[in-house]
Amino acid sequence: MGYIYLMPNETTDEYTLDKSDIGLYYDVKSLSIPRIKWLGMGQSLNQMRLATKTYREAVDKTFHCEYWNDLNNEGYMMGIELSLNEDTLLTLVAHQAFKLYDIRWRSRDFRVLTLAAYLDVFNKNNVIYPLSKEKDAFVILSIDPSTKVGKIRALISARDDLYPIDYLLNPLFILANSSRYYGEISTM
């Protein structure tokens, strides 16, 4: 299981890359989340369906979550709980799936934080759910047609106060209990 913190909080303050087993696979000083300006991305987003219900209104009615995603009182997503095994995380990091885009969409400036491979994020069958009635933050979901399980593929936000750019660019990839690490320990 994995967890992605989308907002800074006290829990994330105790984590550092130096404490992560990801250092077994990568030089932690070389890890980064690139920031890219792509004003034309709005056309890709417009090919997806924009839900009329908010994420909170739709969850457990229109789709189900893998686990549970934490929302604050206003409906903004604080964190995502998901199936994220070691191999999947390492592949996503290796292919730099985590990117922050500056875009123009719906006549506003937004940031898009991708949390999956490009083709999984920008699939025209995905659905965009607003997180609040203000429509200043959204998530892109891929929904499995047979199980109705929705997986969050990206965060779209115009709320730099909730989702600070410096925080989103910080590659705090925490890999705990690495199978490689414990495999080496058990052979000693």
pLDDT digits (tens, 9 = 90+) for 15-59: 666 667 777 887 878 788 999 999 889 999 999 999 999 999 999
What was the pLDDT predicted at 79? 87
Six token digits for residue 135: 């429509």
Q: Report yes or no on whether pTM surpasses 0.85.
A: yes
What was the pLDDT predicted at 187? 29
What was the pLDDT predicted at 125? 97
183 confidence band (pLDDT: 50, 70, 90): very low
- Residues 128/140, Cβ–Cβ less than 8 Å: yes
The three-class DSSP label of residue 33 is coil
Give the Å distances, CA to CA, from 60 to 64, 149, 170, 179.
Answer: 5, 9, 32, 34
What was the pLDDT predicted at 145? 94
- Residues 116/97, Cβ–Cβ less than 8 Å: yes
Six token digits for residue 163: 């989702």
The arithmetic mean of pLDDT across residues 104-115, rounded, is 95
